Amino acid sequence: MYNIKGYLDACTVSEAIELLAQNPNLRIIAGGTDVLIKMQHGQFQEAELLSIRTLESMADIKKLEDGTMIIGALATFSQIFNDPIIQAEIPALAEAAVSMGGPQIRNIATIGGNICNGATSADSASTLFALNASLRLESKTGARLVPIREFYLGPGKVDLKPGEILTEFRVAPEDYRGFGGHYIKFAARKAMDIATLGVSVMCKVAAKTLTEVRIGLGVAGPTPLRCVEAEEFAKGQEISKDTLAQIGKLAVKSTNARTSWRASKEYREHLVEELVQRALKTAIVRAGGEELA
Amino acid sequence: MAFSVVGKSVQRVDAVAKVTGKAKYTDDFYERDMLVGKILRSPYAHAKVKKIDVSKAKALPGVEAVLTYWDVPHLKFATAGHPYALDPSHRDKEDRFILTDKARFVGDAVAAVVATDELIAQQALQLIEVEYEVLEALTTPEKALGEGAPLIHEDCERNILAARGYHIGDVEASFAESDYVIEGEYETSIVQHCHLENHISYARQDSDGRIIIVSSTQIPHITRRIVAQALGLPWGRVRVLKPYIGGGFGNKQDVCVEPLNAAMTLAVGGRPVKLELSREECMIDTRTRHAFKFKMKTGVSKAGKLKGIQIEAISNTGAYASHGHSIAMSAGTKFRPLYAFESIKYDPVTVYTNLPAAGAMRGYGVPQIQFALESHIEDIVNKLGFDPIEFRRRNLAGVGYVDPLSKNKVYSNGLAECITKGKELIRWEEKQAGYSRQSGDRRRGLGLACFAYASGTHPVGLELSGARIVLNQDGSVQLQIGATEIGQGSDTVFAQMAAEVLGLPMDMVHVISTQDTDITPFDTGAYASRQTYIAGMAVKKAALEVKEKILNFVWGMTDIPAEMLDLKEQNVVYKHSGEVVLPLAEVAMHTYYDTVFAQPITSDTSNNARVNAMSFGVTFAEVEIDLKTGKIEVKEIFNVHDSGKIINPKLAEGQVHGGVSMGIGYALSEQMLFDEETGKPLNNNLLDYKLPTIMDTPDIGVAFVETEEPSGAFGVKSLGEPPAISPAPAIRNAVLAATGVKFNRLPMNPQRVFEKFKQAGLI
């Protein structure tokens, strides 16, 4: 049951910021696919909602002249999946977007909400981690840019200060150009499911060598994370089955999986080792490398 | 025999109403100032309610009533949707109150609120203060059967609801004569029906003070009786209406919300009250499928003949009896016409636990035992080196089998042909050859599993169905049946049957889909795959009676003897030549308006069936297993059924699609999980409960071997439940063929597959 005490609809970003400054108890609602469920489960009582749904400027996806990708926080998952720029430049993000929920949810859920919700299972998060995306947060006192890896503070906790609105994601050209990427969502179902593990890998290859590898994981710890040790090792390694196997093993070292009724720690770690290799295999091909037998 | 409407894939009679949104479901029966009911649920799996303080809740503006155990009649009632039995020893276990003073599972209803809207009702629930005395939660049958375990129901020793089995022949003698005696243990999980429409009803009192209930139920007449029993009212004081419903699968062959809903309207002076469960509530406080554990022991001869089988079964019925006692018996009964065992010893124990109550679910115990039996047969075949198809074929009981206990005789059995057809469809030989030597991380395998099922419950239960037909002035008819359309298409096949007998096109048969216990002919409802078989015969009888009356009337009009006449294409015709005598519409006008002879033609017929037809079938499945991730994918699956004559092939195919997808979920992903210590549900929502989506469902191949069943109208046998029975063991046997690993416990989800593969050294 939705116990909605108040509902404000902002017409511009500055108006939203102003309203938020006046009443810090306002809870921002965009697509509502997380907020409404939390309300139904009684997680917030008597919510006063501030809707930002109609702020069209925050839904843009564009590439700036210097190559920086801008993804508005209100871009929906359907929009991201169907966007020609995303499909051309960072297809792994399109893969992540289309893996989320079902068509109806993808039509309304936003990438900004997905990240601000703070869940380790957020389908867009591991790819945004691998892309070194940064978040633009605006408030009455100004704007700040925060790298996504610093935005997550703990399970369900993000660095969104009172009065702040996430307006857009930025991906610098050096973080996606020349990379091949792939996202694997491992879940019990092919749709309408939460990931048991999300693996997003970006890599660059030259000749038969990996020049850079980035591995973002979801549900491998309390927040999305990067596999730094594996990435360090991978740099400059010759592409081979052995290399991939070692990367898979090292990736597990960065994880902090736990046993729950959903899956055991042992199984999750096994999946990390296996799926990092599978994602990297595809990413290598997409980066222009040769397919490993 | 050539039919003109029967056997054709005519469009569903409710297709347009449903796709245009005009079909009315319970929630569409909105009334002005309708109140909302909500239930306070126990947070403990096993606890006595010591004290309830409702004063704060009652004081909340908008709250119209608060009910507890102390505000409702203390009449124990049974909820299972079975016909009433005149013999008291044959009745269902009465172990429920409308609201309880002892919680027996997490979610048990201890209080309820009626308020002007849902939000106020929800807030009022939070204001009810309950003091509990917490008891030990018995979350498994082993705990419940343990020495010194507290009793969940005081009158059931060792928490055993029922333990009635049977012996046929001498199983020990069979084992002694066998060349091999093989044992196995198998286990199934608790799953849920997941019908699209959750449980919902609305209740009010009419101007005479009678209670009117609109409910999403499979069993309106039984609901009327149980509501009256629970409230201590004469049965005629209750009227139940069943509009269109969004699926049931057995979960609405039980009375879950209606007695409380009736108590709610009585508490507010008869004002209308809606009681609707959320998905989360529906998954714990309706019914589930019983989890079973089986120990099987089978004697086999060198020549590959099954000799004797001994089956021990433990069935977990949860907190309340519901259908528990009869499901273990159904499991032990329906497999018997499948294989020709010389002797069978069946020992089931149905145990209460502090988990949600288990009840009827598509297949009624048979998907459970068939998973065990067909896995066990496969293990025998593997161990002794027989061919899995030939071994089964050799042991079929076949036509002429007479069940030694029920005395039901098999008059039609197309299973051998089903097996042949399924084997061809999946290209068994060709694929088998390719899969004999596999390496690598992806393995493929083929498997099969058979089943037998009944059509209705004879001789265990009463099989009574009513049909009423009225001939209208224009030569069309109204068809009223007590049998309930729950999405399976029964209204359409009944209309086809009436149209066939009366020589009418489909659009001249108007089916009254809503059941109303004040008006509708008596029928016990949609369950046991009975309706097309039992109620179908009632429709045929009613149509034949109307036909006879029409022809007799025409005899009076024309002096042509009735036996010389027939009905064809809306005309009364000469039987021998087909020449038209009179248009039916003209005859119909005379039946209404002839100043001397007018007498409208109707039939009100009841069919009390004392027959039962066995239906059969087989699943062939091909799987691919990703060894490294533990994922099993069904690549191809074929269900081949002998359900006698198929009345509507398209609808029949739809039944099979639904059943197979249910079977795939049962095999690979579905299970309800509970905290073993506290009994708290862990996944009572559709995100965490892994019901497969259409994306997870392969194309489902369907085929029928049509036999002629002499006891069914137009040769029909059951099809409602059968498709859900054999997919799980077929998939399990395919995984065994692909990997050599035996999965004796459902579901085969990736976590479990990973663990077993690790044990087996495959990864």
Which pLDDT belongs to residue A41?
Answer: 85
Nearest Cβ partner for A261 among B682, B693, B754: B682
Q: By C-alpha distance, which of B332, B395, B400 is closest to B366?
A: B332
* B202: in domain: no
Beta carbon pairs, A and B, within 8 Å:
50
Contact A1 B118 (CB under 8 A): yes
Q: Which residues of chain B lie closer than 8 angstroms to A196, CB-CB?
A: 750
Q: What percent of chain B has pLDDT over 70?
A: 100
Which pLDDT belongs to residue A40?
Answer: 87
Q: Based on the domain organization, do B215 and B71 belong to the same domain? A: yes
Which pLDDT belongs to residue B437?
Answer: 85
- Using the Cβ of B438 and the Cβ atoms of chain A, whether some distance falls under 8 Å is answered with no
Q: By C-alpha distance, which of B290, B288, B292, B454 is closest to B375?
A: B292
Q: Which of A267, A275, A276 to probe by mutation at the B interface, max B CB count within 10 Å? A: A267
How close does chain B come to A50, measured CA to CA in Å? 21
Which residue from B minimizes the CA distance to A45?
Answer: B123
Q: Which of B674, B693, B753, B762 to probe by mutation at the A interface, max A CB count within 10 Å? A: B693
Give the tokens for residue A107.
Answer: 């039509």
Q: Could you report the per-residue pLDDT of B353-401, keeping only the tens digit for each?
A: 999 999 999 999 999 999 999 999 999 999 999 999 999 999 999 999 9
Between the alpha carbon of residue A101 and those of residues A114, A192, B174, B688, the distances in Å are: 12, 4, 55, 13
Q: Could you report the per-residue pLDDT of B96-149, keeping only the tens digit for each?
A: 999 999 999 999 999 999 999 999 999 999 999 999 999 999 999 999 999 999
Contact B624, B655 (CB under 8 A): no
Question: What DSSP element (H or E) covers B645?
Answer: none
Which pLDDT belongs to residue B737?
Answer: 97
For the segment(s) A4-51, the CATH number from 3.40.980.10, 1.10.540.10, 3.20.20.10, 3.30.43.10 is: 3.30.43.10
Q: Based on the domain organization, do B262 and B360 belong to the same domain? A: no
Q: Which residues of chain B lie closer than 8 angstroms to A263, CB-CB?
A: 751
How close does chain B come to A170, measured CA to CA in Å? 31
Give the SS3 label for residue A62. Answer: strand
Given pLDDT bands bounded at 50, 70 and 90, which one contains residue B1? low
B653-667 average pLDDT score:
98
Q: Based on the domain organization, do B604 and B621 belong to the same domain? A: no
Give the SS3 label for residue B163. Answer: coil
Beta strands in chain A (DSSP E): 4-9, 27-29, 47-51, 61-63, 69-72, 134-139, 142-147, 152-154, 157-158, 165-171, 180-186, 197-206, 209-218, 225-226
Nearest Cβ partner for A1 among B122, B673, B683: B122
- Using the Cβ of A145 and the Cβ atoms of chain B, whether some distance falls under 8 Å is answered with no
Which residue from A minimizes the CA distance to B122?
Answer: A1
How close does chain A come to B662, measured CA to CA in Å? 14
Nearest Cβ partner for A190 among B118, B630, B693: B693
Q: Which residues of chain B lie closer than 8 angstroms to A192, CB-CB?
A: 686-687, 693
Q: Which residues of chain A lie closer than 8 angstroms to B748, CB-CB?
A: none
Q: Which of A38, A40, A193, A219 to probe by mutation at the B interface, max B CB count within 10 Å? A: A193
Of the three residues B549, B582, B608, the one that is the final residue of a domain is B608
Q: Which residues of chain B lie closer than 8 angstroms to A190, CB-CB?
A: 693, 695-696
Which pLDDT belongs to residue A293?
Answer: 77
CB neighbour class for A105 (10 Å; exposed up to 12, middle 13-18, buried from 19): middle
For the segment(s) A180-286, the CATH number from 3.30.390.50, 3.30.70.2200, 3.40.50.920, 3.30.70.100 is: 3.30.390.50
How close does chain A come to B630, measured CA to CA in Å? 10
* B165: in domain: no
Domain layout of chain A by residue ranges: 4-51, 56-175, 180-286
Given pLDDT bands bounded at 50, 70 and 90, which one contains residue A46? confident
Which pLDDT belongs to residue B207?
Answer: 96
Which residues are CB-neighbours of B93 under 8 A, at least 6 positions away? Answer: B78, B161, B321, B324, B325
Contact B687 A191 (CB under 8 A): no
Q: Which residues of chain A lie closer than 8 angstroms to B38, CB-CB?
A: none
Which residue from B minimizes the CA distance to A186?
Answer: B629
Provide the residue range defining the domain that includes B726.
291-458+611-760
Of the three residues B257, B278, B299, the one that is the final residue of a domain is B278
Which strand ranges, in their side-by-side order, compose the sheet holding B47-53?
B102-103, B47-53, B129-134
Give the SS3 label for residue A68. Answer: coil
B593-601 average pLDDT score:
98
Domain count, chain B: 3
Given a cut of 90, whether residue A42 has pLDDT beyond it is no
Which residue from B minimizes the CA distance to A188?
Answer: B690
Given pLDDT bands bounded at 50, 70 and 90, which one contains residue B436? confident
Q: Could you report the per-residue pLDDT of A175-184, keeping only the tens digit for each?
A: 999 999 999 9
Q: Could you report the per-residue pLDDT of A198-233, keeping only the tens digit for each?
A: 999 999 999 899 999 999 999 999 999 999 999 999
* Rounded Cα–Cα distance for residues B510 and B470 (Å): 10
Nearest Cβ partner for B119 among A1, A194, A275: A1
* Nearest-10 Cα torsion for A203, A204, A205, A211: -100
Q: Mean pLDDT over all residues of chain B?
A: 97
* B478: in domain: yes
Given a cut of 90, whether residue A249 has pLDDT beyond it is yes
Q: Could you report the per-residue pLDDT of B534-547, keeping only the tens digit for each?
A: 999 999 999 999 99
